[in-house]
Amino acid sequence: MSQGSNFVDYVKICCRSGHGGAGSAHLHRDKHTAMGGPDGGDGGRGGHVIVKGNAQLWTLLHLKYRKHVIAGNGDPGGSSLSTGKTGRDEILEVPLGTIARDAETGEVIFEITQDGETKVLTPGGRGGQGNWHFKSATQQTPRFAQPGLPGQEVWNILELKLLADVGLVGFPNAGKSTLLSVVSAAKPEIADYAFTTIVPNLGIVSYRDSKSFVMADIPGIIEGASKGKGLGFRFLRHIERNSVLLFMIPADTTRTITEEYQILQHELQEYNPELMHKPHVLAITKSDLLDDELTEEMKQQVPKGIPYVFISSVAQKNIDKLKDLLWQAINQ
pLDDT band for position 253 (cuts 50, 70, 90): confident
Burial class (CB in 10 A: 0-12, 13-18, 19+), 200: buried
What pLDDT was estimated at residue 197?
52
For 60, what's the count of Cα atoms within 13 Å in the CB-facing half-sphere? 25
More confident residue, 94 or 233: 94
Tell whether the model's pLDDT for residue 161 goes beyond 90: no
Could you give the CA distance from residue 16 to residue 155 in angstroms, rounded to a whole number? 9
Q: What is the DSSP string of 273-317?
A: GGGGGS-EEEEEE-GGG--HHHHHHHHTTSPTTS-EEE-BTTTTB
Largest CA distance in the chain: 105
What crossing angle do the helices spanning 319-330 and 176-183 adopt, rounded to 10°?
90
**Range from 29-33, 57-61, 138-142, 174-178 carrying the lowest mean pLDDT:** 29-33
SS3 for 103-166 is: CCCCCEEEEECCCCCEEEEECCCCCCCCHHHHCCCCCCCCCCCCCCCCCCEEEEEEEECCCEEE
Helix (H, G, I), strand (E, B) or coil at 244: strand
Could you give the CA distance from residue 156 to residue 170 in angstroms, rounded to a whole number? 33
Give the mean pLDDT of 13-39. 90
**Range from 58-62, 183-187, 318-322 carrying the lowest mean pLDDT:** 183-187
What pLDDT was estimated at residue 47?
98
What pLDDT was estimated at residue 146?
96
More confident residue, 190 or 71: 71
What pLDDT was estimated at residue 159?
93
What pLDDT was estimated at residue 6?
66
Q: What is the mean pLDDT of the chain?
A: 87
What pLDDT was estimated at residue 94?
96
Tell whether the model's pLDDT for residue 220 goes beyond 70: no
What pLDDT was estimated at residue 330?
93
More confident residue, 186 or 305: 305
Tens-digit pLDDT profile for residues 113-155? 999 999 999 999 999 999 999 999 889 889 999 999 999 999 9
**Range from 56-60, 159-163, 194-198 carrying the lowest mean pLDDT:** 194-198
More confident residue, 308 or 226: 308
Could you give the CA distance from residue 158 to residue 31 in angstroms, rounded to a whole number? 57
Tell whether the model's pLDDT for residue 221 goes beyond 90: no
What pLDDT was estimated at residue 188?
63
Q: pTM value?
A: 0.74
List strands edge to edge, sheet with 153-160: 68-70, 10-16, 153-160, 98-102, 108-112
Tell whether the model's pLDDT for residue 237 goes beyond 70: yes
Contacts of 234 (CB under 8 A, 6+ apart): none
Strand pairing partners for 236? none
Torsion of CA 30, 32, 38, 43, to 10 degrees: -30
pLDDT band for position 193 (cuts 50, 70, 90): very low
List strands edge to edge, sheet with 308-310: 201-206, 212-217, 164-169, 242-250, 280-285, 308-310
Q: Which helix (H) or strand (E) holds 53?
A: strand 49-53
**Range from 192-201, 290-299, 304-313 carrying the lowest mean pLDDT:** 192-201
Could you give the CA distance from residue 112 to residue 269 in angstroms, rounded to a whole number? 25
Tell whether the model's pLDDT for residue 230 goes beyond 60: no
Tens-digit pLDDT profile for residues 92-119? 999 999 999 999 999 999 999 999 999 9
pLDDT band for position 41 (cuts 50, 70, 90): very high
Strand 49-53, strand 90-94: pairing: parallel
Give the mean pLDDT of 279-305. 90
What pLDDT was estimated at residue 1?
31
